[in-house]
Amino acid sequence: MSLTGNEAAAWAVRLARARVAYSFPMGPNAEVTETLQGFIDRKEVEELQILYGDNEKATTSMQIGTARLGVRSMLCINSEGLLWATAEIHYAASSRLPLLLVCPSRALEPPTTVYCDHDDFMSQRDMGWLMFYCEDSQDVLDTILQLYKIIEDPSVMLPAIIGYDGWETSHASVKVQVPPQEEVDRFLPPPKFIRPEKDYMSVDWKEKSSHRRRQHGFGSASFMELRYLQKKAEEDSIQKIIAVGKEYQDRFGSHHAGVLETYRCEDADIILITMGIVYPSVKFVANALRQKGIKIGGIKLRTFRPFPGQALCEAIQNAKVVITLERNSLAALFTELKAALYSFLGSGSKGPSPAVMGRVVGIGGRPIPLEHIGHIAAEGLQALQNERIEKVLDWYPLKPIDYDPTRDTIAE
Amino acid sequence: MATITDEVGIEKWLKEEFIRSQLYEFAFFSIGRQGGRTAVEILARALIMEGKNIYVGQNLTGKRSMGTNSIVARFGSSPDIPATVSITNPRGLMFMHEALVWPDYGAYSQIKRAEVVSKFQSGLLMVCTSKPPEEVEYPIDFTGTVATADAEAIFLEKVSIQPPPSGITSLGLFAAANKDLIRLESVKQATLAHERLSKRVRELNVACIQKAYETTKIAQNIQLKGKITLPEYVELANRPPSSDLITPEEKSVSTLWRESLPLCDVKKCVCIECLADYYCPEGVISWKDEAYHVDYDFCKGCGTCALECPEKAIAMEDAEKVMAKMAEAQKRKKRR
């Protein structure tokens, strides 16, 4: 069937048998819960409730409460909503609870826009959540199903954000293979991630209402240890991500698994690294340039947190120029890649390190045509030929405007 | 700061890759309530039925909820379809309403219809119109294949709704003009399977698609003389709107805003408190000191006042007529 990104997310939540879906509607995320409501109205799902909070912070708090009961849930917020909920987002990670946040990315205002860039997603990179970015509806469906299995694992027990481009993926129809419910049930058993020491429902009222009576409590005396264990779990979750991805791939045949995907990188001189919807365009441009004898490849980073430095550096180690195509104003991929390369090279790998260039594209919803990817690849080619990088980090494309912050206001 | 350079090599190479990988790109433009998006969704499913992969990207264009819709559909047999809303190499453009070849005054949107038109002077031009291909109105010079079908009339023959949701009907035109890419049978089957529509509506649309397919007129290798030059068109497209209010000149064809405006026959007024004043959602009616007044600058023509007045004193008349009347009255007042 053909599904938009939002519909695919709703289908994944349905197949995962989540019991509650939270949302604060903000374009382009409304269709996720709309589609779920359609399933409920037509009685195609049992035991699914949709709840809306007064604002994103309230909604996230509600989801944290739900997770404490061991219930599988989904939260759908985006753009400023993520900023609004940031305190709760941090709280969820430090509480070691598996929550899923579906984020159809939308740029942060001002200036006013409804269109997409990844700033809302990237703004949460320090919160301690696992972070994944998807390229199309099939990827969204596959990743959500894998994520529930990953985050509910006792060795992980961390919340996860799954992002995809607002409108360009969330409202774009592509062909999607929806796995049958029985197959998904075999892959994803019911949640069992809260296993209290004793049965807290059958105790007397004093114990039930006491806030101290909950599971074996760890408090501020163990603050540093708990924070360390949290960060360690985040780092080590890479093993689980790869293992669950492999299992999903074997069972359902989808290639949307693991921490990254490479395309024609084996003998590539230039590699374009990207996240999200730019990837299919990168593959197309790579094909076009390969026809002309230019050795170019592409990498899609699926997992942003934990940053798969090892896997990424191994994939690019033989390239001469690596260009990150970022759809966020932080140039996050550029910064993190350089940090990862530094550790990778320090560990004694052979050969010169690839030169790293960063190109920020598509901010505020500016579409990314194939030509621009071609131009950026041409810049990489030029750097290769001249053995010099003209501009290490740049934004593309920019047109000249006459803006004076003391005189002009930023509005629409 | 990097500037946009025009690398002829890249553009040419990408066009060659389109041909080599048998990738096809089409842009569809519809007005609000026509069902343009649904039509492209159905086309996508028909293509998937035939084993193709497809990306459908859309935009609602126009900042003042003018309802127009721009959609890109890109498909082929390769599993990797570039997923961008940028329309760079369309094989054809489909205008589900003939007025959409002209720009309207939308603010920032990702798919810029006027830009797409300005770059499209050859290829396959599909327009839903009663005119034959040779008489199609295109703003700039065009050489190529022109295909037309009167989708609106075909739909109105079956059901009378204004504006007619003729988006799905236009798929008959698409199938007739692209016989090498899609079979009519697939389009009909996809329509019959579209769960969002009732059974009756699906069958109605299939009949319309059939009629459109049969009555499509195609003229190959013809030249259309543009109404204006390309630089004039670009200038027209880049002109900002004159104000924040929607003026008649700048109204999009799909806007049903201010089609008619209220006129009150004050001889019929008997109410202590004007109910129309009370119910007006914009608060533009006032009835003070025996004087009835409508602020036409802010009236949106919704007709609630005419509906609510218990004496049926208010009638909705054609907006042009009412504004002309008001202008006359103003002039007479000034002369006194």
Distance to chain B for A289, nearest Cα, Å: 7
- Residue % of chain A over a pLDDT of 90: 82
The pLDDT of residue B24 is above 50: yes
Domain boundaries, chain B: 11-238, 258-335
- Inform me whether the pLDDT recorded for A267 exceeds 80: yes
With an 8 Å Cβ cutoff, are A412 and B10 in contact? no
Q: What is the pTM of this model?
A: 0.87
State pLDDT tens for residues A177-208: 999 999 999 999 999 998 877 676 677 777 66
**Residue B44 touches chain A, beta carbons under 8 Å:** yes
Check: complex ipTM more than 0.85: yes
Give kind and range of the element (H or E) at residue A231: helix A223-252
Helix (H) or strand (E) holding A142: helix A137-151
Determine the residue among A7, A42, A174, A399 to mutate to test chain B binding: the one whose Cβ has the most chain B Cβ atoms within 10 Å: A174
Same CATH topology for A2-187 and A260-395: the answer is yes
CA distance A95 to A109: 30
Instruction: For residue B231, give Cα distances in angstroms to A213, B140, B236, B242.
Output: 76, 9, 9, 21
Residue B196 pLDDT > 90: no
The pLDDT of residue A243 is: 97
Average pLDDT rounded to a whole number, residues A5-14: 96
Domain ranges for chain A, please list them: 2-187, 260-395
User: pLDDT tens digits, residue range A117-153?
Assistant: 999 999 999 999 999 999 999 999 999 999 999 999 9
Written as six digits, the tokens of A79 are 């753009």
Q: Which of A367, A378, A391 minimises the CB distance to B110?
A: A367
How do A160-165 and A130-134 pair as beta strands? parallel
A202: three-class secondary structure by DSSP:
coil
From A117's Cα to the closest Cα of chain B, the distance in A is 12
Q: Which CATH number among 3.40.50.920, 3.40.50.10240, 3.90.550.10, 3.90.480.20 corresponds to the domain A260-395?
A: 3.40.50.920
pLDDT of B88 strictly over 90: no
Q: What is the pLDDT at residue B2?
A: 33
Instruction: Find the CB nearest A398 among B1, B48, B82.
Output: B1
CA distance A76 to chain B (A): 21
B243 pLDDT more than 60: yes
Q: What are the CA-CA distances from residue A55 to residues A37, A107, B202, B247 (Å)?
A: 20, 18, 40, 37
| B264 contacts chain A (CB < 8 A) | no
Q: Check: CB of residue B265 under 8 Å from CB of residue B317.
A: no
Hey, is the C-beta of B107 within 8 angstroms of any chain A C-beta?
Answer: yes
Beta bridge partners of B146: B125, B219
C-alpha A403/C-alpha B7 separation (Å) is 29
More confident of the two residues B156 and B33: B156
What pLDDT band is residue B253 in, cutting at 50, 70 and 90?
low
- CB contacts of A291 in chain B (<8 Å) are 13, 16-17, 20
- Confidence at residue B104, expressed as pLDDT on a 0 to 100 scale: 76
| Mean pLDDT (whole number) for B210-223 | 96
List CB contacts (< 8 A) between B13 and chain A: 288-289, 291-292, 374
B56 neighbourhood in chain A, CB within 8 Å: 2, 172-174
The conformation of residue B99, written as its DSSP 8-state character, comes to G
d(CA A395, CA A261): 25
- Disruptive mutation site among A261, A370, A379 for chain B (greatest number of B CBs within 10 Å): A370
Q: Which residues pair with A260 in a beta bridge?
A: A301
Q: Which fold has domain B11-238?
A: Pyruvate-ferredoxin Oxidoreductase; domain 3 (3.40.920)
Beta strands A355-360; B24-30: pairing state = unpaired
Residue with tokens 């550096």: A313
Which of 3.30.450.40, 2.40.50.140, 3.40.50.720, 3.40.50.970 is the CATH number of A2-187? 3.40.50.970
Inter-chain touch A397–B83, beta carbons under 8 Å: no
Cβ contact A354:A316 at 8 Å: yes
Question: Given a cut of 60, is residue B66 above it in pLDDT?
Answer: no
pLDDT-based confidence at residue A212 (cuts at 50, 70, 90): low
Pairing of strands A73-76, A100-105: parallel
CB contact under 8 A, A397 and B4: yes
B residues 55-84 near A, CB within 8 Å?
55-59, 80-84
pLDDT on residue B248: 62
* Residue B206 scores a pLDDT above 50: yes
Chain A CB contacts of B240 below 8 Å: none
Q: In whole angstroms, give the CA distance from residue A5 to residue A8.
A: 5
| Separation between Cα atoms, residue A390 and residue A138, nearest integer Å | 38
Contact between B75 and B53 (Cβ < 8 Å)? yes
Report whether pLDDT(B327) > 90: no
Write down the pLDDT at residue B249: 64
Mean pLDDT over A294-312 rounds to: 96
Task: Give residue ranges of A with CB < 8 Å to any B CB.
Answer: 1-2, 113, 115, 135-136, 167-169, 171-175, 277-278, 280-281, 283-285, 287-289, 291-292, 365-371, 374-375, 378, 391, 394-400, 412
In a mutational test of the A interface, the residue from B54, B71, B86 whose CB has the highest number of chain A CBs within 10 Å is B86
Please state which CATH class domain B258-335 belongs to: alpha beta
Q: What is the mean pLDDT of chain A?
A: 92
Most trustworthy range by pLDDT among A100-109, B101-110, B312-321: A100-109
Q: Any alpha helices (H) in chain B, and if so which ranges?
A: 8-20, 36-49, 113-118, 151-158, 170-177, 184-192, 199-215, 230-238, 275-279, 304-308, 319-335
The mean per-residue pLDDT over the stretch A266-287 comes to 95
Task: Look at A218-232, A296-310, B252-266, B286-300 and tell me which has the smallest mean pLDDT.
Answer: B252-266
